[in-house]
Amino acid sequence: MQQLLYMEGIDKNFPGVRALKSVSLDIRPGEVHALIGENGAGKSTLMKILSGAYKKDAGRIFWQGQEVEIDSTTRAAELGISIIYQELNQMPNLSVAENLFVGRERRKNRFLLDHKRTLEEAQVFTRRVGLDVDVRTLCSELSIAQRQMVEVAKALSYNARLIIMDEPTSSLTDRETDILMDLIRKLKDEGVSIVFISHKLNEVFAIADRVTVLRDGELAGCVETKDCDEETLIRMMVGRELTDLFPKKEVPIGDVTLSVEGLNAGKAVQNVSFTVRAGEILGFAGLVGAGRSETMRALFGIDRMDSGKIWVDGKVLSGHQPTEAIEAGLGFVPEDRKLQGLILGMTVRENTTLAAMEETKVNHMVNRKKEVEITQEYVDRLGIRTPGVEQKAMNLSGGNQQKVVIAKWLATDPKVLILDEPTRGIDVGAKKEIHLLMGEMTARGVAVVMISSELPEVLGMSDRIIVMHEGSVRGELSREEATQERVMELIFSTKV
């Protein structure tokens, strides 16, 4: 079969880091090709070279049999290569049609826009991807899934023969994911090739024809999906066997630490009550938008709560600021580590000590030596991979960033730690480490509340599971009775 793309012996060095070492990749026409690997394995770097954002240091690229030099994103677009990034590059205040043709506006002449042609042509492409909205709708009014479809439509409008999708499903609900999968199959039928970067192996098996695995900047292998199983892929990615996917640690459960009664906050949270005990992991399952994050944000004092009572260790939590919640012994790892969890421009040290500044004081002054000590302790304990405590948080990989957020809360010595999507978008190895860490925390008597949109994670890690839907609690399941089906039943049972 004629190859659409062949990348051969690609090298890329960054100062002090060898990001890619002689990596090869081949893509066939009309193929869905998954690209997987832990964070930092080199997937993004490889794709950035392919799309012209980075220059390769060595190696050759063949496109439809011809050797090509991709020195700019324009060149890549000319060849028919489009990339859809995880963070969508859209102007939210422009319409779908305007976004489609941004930078190459349809025009009547040198100065005037051609609105009619813009709308007509936009419609052609949105129909092709099955996006059923008026093309005059502003992008800010679309769901993330719809906005992704806009990006696909944009790629098609460039006559893309190869579309690279960088973790397209990471912020989609299951239903939205299904729609995207359908779209990918449709594109495949039209002869468009897809490179699909993902951490979710079930999706890889559902959609991909072949899988290329990268590990530490090197090619770990390329296999036909039908010839392998999850175990194999994970082994290829981490280079070792992950014996237990969800290492649940059994620890004695203590007294009630946090109890919430009748919490209301706007439409998103309606009369939510629950308790969690020392040493227990309480999982929150539900669809995206079920009100789980909103519940946690309200009880932690980030958002306004309308009514409700919260007790920590039997004491009523007064005040409605995070500061009071922290003083009472709560900790909160928010769902978006870059926007809410970290101060990216600050160092690992500054981030780690931020919530526990009082601990860093010597003679009433912030003491740098003490800060370094505290930070180093957590860097070692959590295995945070960083060149040093003075490294800026923005330079760490996703998994290590998340560990810094967790370190920040461990430094406050919390009684209750709330984890909102603690392992989203991080690689398999780091994910496992965070799971082990949760076990370690419960062993020390910390009560853990975990929100996850990955049902197997909730089922695997929790002692008890609360199922939320449309702002209210739909039911509670013990570890023993909880199965994927039971959770789904609770979510959809009362739905007409």
Partner 1 sequence: MKTANGTESKGAPSFIRRVQQVSVFNIVLILAGMCLLLSIAVGGKFLSATNITSVVRQFSFYAIMATGMLLAIITGGIDLSSGSVFAFSSIITCLFIAKWDIPLLTGMPVLLRVILGVLLGMLSGAAFGYLNGALITLLKLPPFIATLGTMSIARGLSYGITGGYPIGSLPDQFKFIGLGTIGAGSVQIPTPIILMVVLALLFSFFLRKTILGRWVYAIGGNEEAARIAGVRVDRTKRIVYALCGLMSSIAGIATAARLGVGQSTAGQGYEMDAIAAVIIGGASVNGGVGTVLGSVLGAAIMGVLRNGLVLLNVSAYWQQAVLGVVIVVAVSFDKLQHDRKK
For tokens 């082994």, name the residue.
Answer: 235
Alpha helix (H) residue ranges in 158-194? 174-189
- We find the least distance from the C-beta atom of residue 317 to partner 1, in angstroms, to be 14
Of 168 and 398, which has the nearer Cβ to partner 1?
Answer: 398
Of 102 and 366, which has the nearer Cβ to partner 1?
Answer: 366
Write the single-letter amino acid at 272. Answer: V
Phi, psi of 236 (to 5 degrees): -65, -40
Of 2 and 363, which has the nearer Cβ to partner 1?
Answer: 363
Q: Tell me, what DSSP letter sits at residue 178?
A: H
- Sheet containing 269-277: order of strands: 269-277, 256-265, 307-312, 315-316
Of 323 and 484, which has the nearer Cβ to partner 1?
Answer: 323
Determine the Cα–Cα distance for residues 100 and 87; give it in Å rounded to an integer. Answer: 16
Residues 6+ away with beta carbon under 8 Å from 18: 11, 12, 217
- We find the least distance from the C-beta atom of residue 406 to partner 1, in angstroms, to be 13
- Are 275 and 254 in contact, with CB atoms under 8 Å apart? no
Residues 6+ away with beta carbon under 8 Å from 129: 149, 152, 153, 156, 183
- We find the least distance from the C-beta atom of residue 441 to partner 1, in angstroms, to be 18
Of 27 and 325, which has the nearer Cβ to partner 1?
Answer: 325
- We find the least distance from the C-beta atom of residue 21 to partner 1, in angstroms, to be 17
The DSSP code sequence of 302-341 is SS---EEEEEETTEE--SSSHHHHHHHTEEEE-S-IIIII
CA 495 to chain centre: 29
Structure tokens at 275: 């308790």
- We find the least distance from the C-beta atom of residue 458 to partner 1, in angstroms, to be 23
Structure tokens at 28: 């066939």
- We find the least distance from the C-beta atom of residue 292 to partner 1, in angstroms, to be 16
Of 407 and 458, which has the nearer Cβ to partner 1?
Answer: 407
Of 152 and 325, which has the nearer Cβ to partner 1?
Answer: 325
- We find the least distance from the C-beta atom of residue 16 to partner 1, in angstroms, to be 10
- Are 346 and 330 in contact, with CB atoms under 8 Å apart? no
Of 247 and 322, which has the nearer Cβ to partner 1?
Answer: 322
For tokens 């390769």, name the residue.
Answer: 56
Of 251 and 404, which has the nearer Cβ to partner 1?
Answer: 404
- We find the least distance from the C-beta atom of residue 246 to partner 1, in angstroms, to be 23
Of 112 and 365, which has the nearer Cβ to partner 1?
Answer: 365
- Interacting residue ranges for partner 1, rule: CB under 8 A: 300, 302, 321-323, 325-327, 332, 334, 339-346, 350, 354-355, 357-358, 361, 365-366, 372, 376, 379-380, 383-389, 408
- Are 427 and 242 in contact, with CB atoms under 8 Å apart? no
- CA 235, 238, 242, 245 torsion: positive or negative? negative
The DSSP code sequence of 344-370 is TTSBHHHHHHGGGGGGGEETTEE-HHH
Could you tell me which of 26, 55, 51, 32 has the C-alpha nearest to residue 221?
Answer: 26
The neighbour count for residue 493, using CB atoms within 10 Å, is 11
Q: Tell me, what DSSP letter sits at residue 139?
A: G
What is the distance between the terminal CA atoms of the chain, rounded to a whole angstrom? 50
- We find the least distance from the C-beta atom of residue 378 to partner 1, in angstroms, to be 11
Of 304 and 361, which has the nearer Cβ to partner 1?
Answer: 361
- We find the least distance from the C-beta atom of residue 255 to partner 1, in angstroms, to be 25
- We find the least distance from the C-beta atom of residue 346 to partner 1, in angstroms, to be 5
